[in-house]
């Protein structure tokens, strides 16, 4: 391709740009180059320019497409040097011609800056105490009995006395600053926030929360914050008088003894007094207080980590107190920053951060013009995406003021993943570019979505970041992807038609840019224009209550939009955290799109209420002229609709109307899945009796849903047996080995669940993907795994392939089965598994291809709350019946689709129907804001709970009932020994695991742990032991009752014998 490079660089940036471009292109002007270059070469040029980019870098690349026609491909550096088409402006003005072009609409920005300024200068006063200064002498870190944040609050409280805000600020401004040499020890129950004037109270809350949000287990106190905060909320216990005596003594003085600190404090106080609005503004406004805390923490993190003395400020030369230590030679600790210097430095950096925050989004890389996202769909099946794009484009301007909350309810196989990107791209301003985050629940889904964006949209590593937590899993995924490019899939390289414009941004020289580069993982999380990640990466925006884990996710949501994938897949207890995430997305200014074909009305309404509450606070502080109501959009394969002024009371009706129209369309659609309920074990339960029922059901389903293998002439089918619990699943697989399946049948099985060593699970998933992704042109009969299995039994007339799977098969794998047998946990689980049947095959199907067991195994065993873990029953909150015959209406089972999830019926008794019970459980948690007896999600924003970590501790995301421990079968010298990982070190733990033999059955996916490790070791250039540790890990959540042994086999995974 022929390209032209245009440079608008200045100073040293121009020298660097010339040095790079002169190697690849001919200079045809002082700042212009031209060359013919390959796509790979162009990627190299862009990479080199990005590596050398600095504040004054600005380079545009134009593709010469034909006579008199060029197309902008990308911009590296300062995109404001060019217009959206890459042209250089002939004139400039600093007048604010358009209100929307104003970078700074931060109505309360100055208030935030003043609060942070005061808090920065006061946040570590408590480090002046005798005990803290002595602790810096120790080579090993010691736990503080009284936290320095709490001591800082006590010192400030004593300094303020009975003054109001103008009183103590005037004293500070006049230099009347002194702190006592000792503080009277308060009681544990003392509440210093009580009686503090508003500015002082907000400053003290910022101080007390700048390392960890305050927390107490008392639910009645969340309506009385911050006044209720005492020492126990801050991990401080004032009990042992002798041990804590040194915490209340300040023999070496305080920062008030530093002349430079006093000048800075006086200046900050004077500026605060001059800004009268601060005394009439609600300072505990969620936006003001959360942004202030973020800026203070960023400033503290950045300054504390500085190594070069050139970047540091100077305090008084002989000041005796220190703030922290640094690592010296051989791991020893040495005193680092003096306390007055640290406070002054944090104060300076907070000011710089706050100055740059309004323009942060413009300084980050964005996705500009993208041909594939804008062009019309060629296939009729995907033309609904064009309507969705047009609908989103029509409300673009309104969303910039009112925010956006949308739901994509398109069915599986309609291209929802690409549609999500197109919708968010359409909502973005064409001049400022798009930034979006796609948050998914599973690692496998995240990797698949990343692949889809890379393959179909042409995104490269500089545009798309894929974050899944463990690099090992990503490496295995990439290796499997390389192997699975056969069987009808195209392996051609992307054509240049997928080219797009990326504006690189210009953040590197700022404090935030420097922090992003030095903080592991933060750079990719914040910088990438398109981020595909597991939800765990973005969830700390609300759940990261300690250690600064929320800082990068907050910056991400402040500068980009959010797609939340399959929110209805989360457990009801996890939806508390999901609502908090969506609340923060609204608070920080993101647009939000939910992506789910089965989203329940209560989930849609609950998440909308969370977004609306957050967005209301955002708009109030950002000077938005629009009303607080939200722009909403609904999308599916049938229609697209948007409303520009939606309040909480209106949303439910609009959503119900859209869902009803969708239900009408679905009712008229082709039926691909038909189900029936089959009876189960009556009497004492045994795996042997249930497996007989399942095998007989499999034969019946195979008889109606098989395909003929032309090479062998045999009838074959692939079926999924979903079992809720891993131990029961393995028990049934073992019981299958004793079954006689008949003379004409060969049954080939696979055991698939989450508790396998990583490399074995990856191998299972790789083979299932190659077999069951039945896309266009995919011939399952030519697959080597299938052929090898059929070849073993040439005389058999029927080959039944059964995948015995736990709920991991419900989501995350794009598999297409011929039939399924389901142990029910909920209506949602039935619908999700049904979605795996005939997934890739269009056309009406008139035969039953799904059997649902009449009871689940817990009910067969006579256990209480049988439809729980997984399921919606909990404790005494149970359904009135236990059989599916009584709990599922005929129309819900005869044709299995999303209707029972998306449509909520008014039921006389919600306990009489499986679907009604689920809707009831979701609604009472997500939408019932008036019932004080129910612990609702809305408590987070309807009370003062956002000023503490109470909700996060009570309803954490993905709560584990015990301690999660990592194990690994270590392969070395032709032997495998089980180890556990403790702080990165291997500890032999063979006693916990009992090695069992492989059941006498035909497992159609061959698994050999030692062979897989040897192959990986050769590819990666590692030893077998190193490879085991990297790719062979698995996790167990250990509770006291789990201290007896587990069993392990390569084909069965890790399980407990029953």
- CATH number of the domain that residue 82 is part of: 3.30.70.240
Q: Are residues 211 and 289 in the same domain?
A: yes
Q: What is the DSSP letter of 550?
A: T
The answer to whether residue 932 is domain-embedded is no
- Whether the Cβ atoms of residue 185 and residue 161 lie closer than 8 Å to each other: no
Q: Are residues 688 and 823 in the same domain?
A: yes
pLDDT at 96: 57
What are the tens digits of pLDDT across the range 520-546? 888 889 999 999 999 999 999 999 998
Q: Are residues 55 and 139 in the same domain?
A: no
Q: Are residues 651 and 783 in the same domain?
A: no
pLDDT at 692: 96
Q: Are residues 693 and 662 in the same domain?
A: no
Contacts of 772 (CB under 8 A, 6+ apart): 718, 780, 813, 815, 816, 817
Domain that holds residue 881: 675-896
Considering 113-122, 134-143, 704-713, 970-979, the range whose residues carry the highest mean pLDDT is: 113-122
pLDDT at 358: 92
The answer to whether residue 543 is domain-embedded is yes
pLDDT at 681: 81
φ/ψ of 852, rounded to 5, equals -115, 125
User: Measured between alpha carbons, how far is 237 from 252 in angstroms, rounded to an integer?
Assistant: 24
Number of domains in the chain: 5
pLDDT at 102: 45
pLDDT at 172: 96
Out of 840, 863, 896, a domain closes at: 896
Helix pair angle (286-304, 198-208), 10° resolution: 50
Residue 325: CB atoms within 10 A of its CB come to 18
User: Measured between alpha carbons, how far is 809 from 721 in angstroms, rounded to an integer?
Assistant: 10
The answer to whether residue 927 is domain-embedded is no
Q: Which regions of 626-727 does DSSP assign to beta strands (E)?
A: 630-635, 640-646, 675-678, 707-708, 715-722
Q: What is the largest CA-CA distance in the chain?
A: 99
pLDDT at 140 over 80: no
Q: Are residues 733 and 864 in the same domain?
A: yes
Measuring CA to CA, how many Å separate 953 from each of 120, 215, 554?
27, 8, 20
Q: Are residues 353 and 367 in the same domain?
A: no
What are the tens digits of pLDDT across the range 150-169? 999 999 999 999 999 999 99
> What is the CATH number for 748?
3.40.50.300
Q: Give the mean pLDDT of 873-901.
A: 93
β partners of residue 1038: 963
pLDDT at 836: 93
Structure tokens at 900: 């029972």
Ramachandran sector of residue 905 (left: φ over 0; alpha: ψ -120 to 50; beta: rest): beta
CA-nearest of 606, 666, 651, 650 to 409 is: 666
Cis, peptide link before residue 870, omega less than 30° from 0: yes
Percent of the chain with pLDDT over 90: 65
User: Measured between alpha carbons, how far is 559 from 435 in angstroms, rounded to an integer?
Assistant: 7
pLDDT at 104: 63
CA-nearest of 427, 456, 434 to 367 is: 434
What are the tens digits of pLDDT across the range 470-524? 667 777 777 776 555 332 222 222 223 444 555 555 566 688 888 888 888 888 8
pLDDT at 985: 80
- Residue-averaged pLDDT of the chain: 89
Q: Are residues 396 and 493 in the same domain?
A: yes
- Whether the Cβ atoms of residue 129 and residue 250 lie closer than 8 Å to each other: yes
- Whether the Cβ atoms of residue 899 and residue 673 lie closer than 8 Å to each other: no
Percent of the chain with pLDDT over 70: 94
Out of 896, 918, 934, a domain closes at: 896
Q: Given pLDDT bands bounded at 50, 70 and 90, which one contains residue 990?
A: low
φ/ψ of 548, rounded to 5, equals 80, 15
Q: Give the mean pLDDT of 683-699.
A: 94
The half-sphere exposure of 615 on its side-chain side, counting CA atoms within 13 A, is 29
Structure tokens at 566: 């399959």
pLDDT at 137: 87
Q: Given pLDDT bands bounded at 50, 70 and 90, which one contains residue 628?
A: low
Lowest mean pLDDT among 394-398, 490-494, 511-515, 814-818: 490-494
Q: Give the mean pLDDT of 129-146.
A: 86
The answer to whether residue 919 is domain-embedded is no
CA-nearest of 377, 489, 1004, 494 to 774 is: 489
pLDDT at 150: 94
Q: Give the mean pLDDT of 896-902.
A: 94
Cis, peptide link before residue 226, omega less than 30° from 0: yes
pLDDT at 481: 64
Q: Are residues 347 and 401 in the same domain?
A: no
Q: Give the mean pLDDT of 20-32.
A: 95
pLDDT at 649: 85
User: Measured between alpha carbons, how far is 202 from 207 in angstroms, rounded to an integer?
Assistant: 9
What are the tens digits of pLDDT across the range 555-605? 999 999 999 999 999 999 999 999 999 999 999 999 999 999 999 999 999
Q: Are residues 242 and 327 in the same domain?
A: yes
pLDDT at 1037: 81
What are the tens digits of pLDDT across the range 310-332? 789 999 999 999 999 987 766 67
Q: Are residues 521 and 645 in the same domain?
A: yes
User: Measured between alpha carbons, how far is 47 from 33 in angstroms, rounded to an integer?
Assistant: 17
The answer to whether residue 934 is domain-embedded is no
Rounded to 10 degrees, the C-alpha dihedral 566/571/572/577 comes to -70
Q: Given pLDDT bands bounded at 50, 70 and 90, which one contains residue 972?
A: confident
Rounded to 10 degrees, the C-alpha dihedral 867/871/877/879 comes to -50
- Whether the Cβ atoms of residue 717 and residue 781 lie closer than 8 Å to each other: no
In angstroms, how far is the first alpha carbon of the chain from the final one? Answer: 66
Rounded to 10 degrees, the C-alpha dihedral 626/95/105/532 comes to 90
The answer to whether residue 912 is domain-embedded is no
Q: Give the mean pLDDT of 1018-1033.
A: 90
The answer to whether residue 931 is domain-embedded is no
pLDDT at 983 over 80: no
pLDDT at 875 over 90: no
> 3-class SS at 928?
coil
CA-nearest of 669, 86, 116 to 411 is: 669
B/e letters for 599-622, b = 16+ CB within 10 Å, e = fewer, are bbbbbbbbbbbbbbbbbbbbbbbb
Helix pair angle (511-518, 339-356), 10° resolution: 110
The answer to whether residue 921 is domain-embedded is no
Contacts of 894 (CB under 8 A, 6+ apart): 674, 675, 676
CA-nearest of 822, 757, 758, 771 to 799 is: 771
β partners of residue 334: 326
B/e letters for 152-188, b = 16+ CB within 10 Å, e = fewer, are bbbbbbebbeeeebeebbebbbeeebebeeebeebee
Q: Are residues 652 and 696 in the same domain?
A: no
Global pTM reads: 0.91
pLDDT at 854 over 90: yes
Out of 639, 668, 697, a domain closes at: 668
């Amino acid at each position: 391709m022929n390209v032209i490079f245009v440079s608008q660089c200045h100073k040293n940036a121009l020298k660097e740009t010339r040095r790079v471009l002169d190697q690849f292109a001919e200079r045809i002007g002082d700042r212009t180059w031209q060359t013919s270059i390959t796509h790979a070469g162009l990627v190299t040029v862009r990479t080199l320019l990005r590596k050398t980019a600095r504040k004054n870098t600005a380079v545009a690349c134009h593709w010469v497409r034909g006579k008199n026609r060029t197309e902008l491909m990308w911009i590296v550096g300062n995109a404001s040097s060019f217009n959206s088409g890459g042209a250089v402006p002939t004139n400039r003005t600093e007048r604010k011609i358009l209100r929307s072009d104003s970078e700074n609409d931060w109505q309360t920005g100055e208030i935030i800056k003043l609060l942070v300024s005061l808090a920065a200068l006061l946040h570590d006063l408590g480090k002046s105490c005798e005990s803290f200064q002595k602790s810096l002498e120790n080579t090993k870190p010691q736990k503080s009995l009284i936290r320095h944040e709490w001591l800082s609050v006590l010192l400030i409280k004593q300094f303020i006395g009975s003054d109001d805000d103008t009183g103590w600020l005037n004293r500070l401004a006049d230099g009347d600053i002194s702190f006592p040499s000792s503080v009277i020890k308060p009681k544990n129950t003392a509440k210093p926030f009580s009686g503090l004037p508003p500015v002082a109270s907000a400053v003290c809350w910022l101080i007390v929360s700048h390392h960890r949000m305050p927390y107490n287990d008392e639910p009645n106190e969340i309506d009385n914050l911050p006044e209720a905060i005492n020492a126990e909320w801050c991990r401080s216990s004032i009990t042992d008088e002798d041990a804590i005596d040194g915490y209340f003594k300040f023999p070496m003085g305080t920062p008030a003894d530093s002349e430079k600190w006093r000048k800075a404090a006086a200046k900050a106080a004077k500026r605060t007094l001059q800004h009268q609005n601060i005394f009439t503004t609600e300072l505990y406004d969620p936006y003001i207080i959360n942004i202030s805390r973020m800026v203070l923490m960023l400033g503290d993190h950045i300054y504390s980590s500085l190594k070069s003395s050139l970047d540091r400020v100077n305090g008084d030369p002989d000041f005796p107190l220190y703030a922290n230590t640094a690592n010296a030679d051989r791991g020893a600790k040495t005193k680092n920053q003096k306390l007055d210097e640290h406070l002054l430095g944090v104060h300076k950096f907070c000011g710089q951060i706050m100055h740059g925050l309004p323009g942060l989004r413009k300084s980050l890389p964005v996705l500009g013009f993208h041909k594939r996202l804008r062009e019309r769909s060629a296939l009729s099946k995907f033309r609904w995406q064009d309507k969705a794009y047009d609908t989103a484009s029509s409300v673009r301007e309104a969303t910039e003021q009112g925010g956006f909350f949308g739901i994509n309810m398109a069915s599986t196989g309609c291209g929802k993943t690409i549609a999500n990107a197109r919708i968010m791209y359409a909502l973005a301003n064409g001049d400022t570019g798009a930034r979006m985050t796609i948050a998914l629940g599973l690692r496998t889904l995240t990797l698949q979505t990343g692949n889809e964006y890379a393959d179909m949209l042409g995104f490269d590593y500089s545009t798309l970041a894929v974050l899944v937590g463990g690099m090992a899993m990503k490496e295995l995924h990439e290796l499997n992807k390389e192997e699975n490019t056969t069987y009808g899939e195209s392996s051609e390289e992307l054509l240049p038609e997928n080219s797009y414009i990326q504006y690189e941004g210009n953040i590197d020289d700022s404090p935030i840019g420097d922090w992003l580069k030095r903080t592991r993982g933060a750079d990719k999380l914040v910088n990438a224009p398109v981020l595909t990640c597991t939800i765990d990466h973005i969830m700390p925006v609300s759940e990261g209550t300690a250690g600064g884990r929320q800082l990068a996710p907050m910056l991400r949501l402040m500068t980009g939009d959010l797609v939340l994938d399959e929110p209805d897949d989360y457990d009801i207890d996890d939806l508390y955290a999901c609502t908090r995430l969506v609340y923060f997305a609204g608070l920080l200014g993101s647009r939000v799109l939910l992506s789910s074909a089965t989203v329940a009305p209560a989930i849609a309404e609950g998440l909308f209420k969370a977004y609306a509450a957050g967005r209301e606070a955002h708009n109030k502080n950002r000077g938005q002229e629009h009303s607080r109501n939200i722009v909403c959009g609904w999308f599916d394969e049938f229609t697209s609709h948007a409303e520009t002024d939606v309040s909480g009371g209106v949303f439910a009706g609009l959503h119900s109307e859209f869902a009803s129209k969708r239900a009408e369309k679905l009712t008229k659609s082709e039926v691909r899945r038909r189900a029936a309920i089959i009876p189960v074990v009556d009497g004492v339960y045994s795996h042997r009796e249930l497996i007989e029922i399942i095998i007989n059901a499999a034969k019946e389903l195979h008889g109606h849903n098989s395909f003929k293998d032309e090479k062998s002439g045999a009838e074959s089918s692939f079926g999924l047996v979903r079992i809720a619990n891993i131990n029961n699943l393995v028990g049934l697989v073992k019981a299958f080995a004793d079954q006689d399946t008949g003379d004409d049948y060969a049954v080939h099985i696979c055991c698939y669940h989450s508790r396998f060593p990583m490399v074995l699970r990856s191998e299972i998933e790789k083979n299932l993907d190659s077999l069951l992704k039945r896309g266009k042109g995919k011939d399952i009969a030519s697959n080597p795994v299938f052929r090898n299995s059929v070849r073993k039994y040439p005389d058999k007339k029927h080959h039944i392939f059964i995948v015995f799977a736990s709920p991991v098969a419900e989501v995350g794998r794009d598999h297409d089965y011929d039939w399924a047998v389901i142990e029910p946990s909920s209506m949602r689980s039935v619908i999700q598994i049904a979605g795996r049947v005939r997934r890739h095959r269009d056309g009406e199907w008139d035969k039953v291809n799904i059997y649902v067991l009449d009871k689940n195994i817990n009910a067969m065993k006579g256990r209480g709350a049988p439809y729980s873990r997984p399921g919606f029953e909990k404790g005494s909150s149970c359904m009135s019946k236990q059989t599916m015959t009584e709990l599922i209406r005929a129309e819900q089972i005869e044709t299995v689709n999303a209707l029972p999830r998306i449509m909520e019926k008014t039921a006389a008794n919600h306990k009489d129907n499986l679907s009604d019970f689920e809707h009831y459980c979701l609604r009472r948690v997500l939408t019932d804001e008036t019932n004080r007896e129910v612990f609702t999600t809305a408590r987070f924003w309807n009370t003062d709970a956002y000023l503490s970590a109470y909700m996060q501790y009570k309803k954490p995301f993905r709560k584990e009932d015990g301690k999660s421990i990592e194990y690994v079968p270590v392969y070395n010298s032709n032997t495998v020994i089980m180890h556990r990982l403790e702080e990165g070190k291997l500890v032999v733990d063979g006693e916990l695991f009992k090695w069992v033999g492989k059941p006498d059955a035909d497992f159609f996916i061959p698994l050999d742990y030692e062979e897989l490790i040897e192959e990986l070791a050769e590819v990666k250039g590692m030893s077998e032991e190193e490879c085991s540790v990297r790719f062979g890990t698995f996790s167990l959540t250990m509770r006291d009752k789990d201290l007896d042994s587990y069993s392990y086999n390569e084909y069965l995974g890790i399980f407990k014998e029953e």
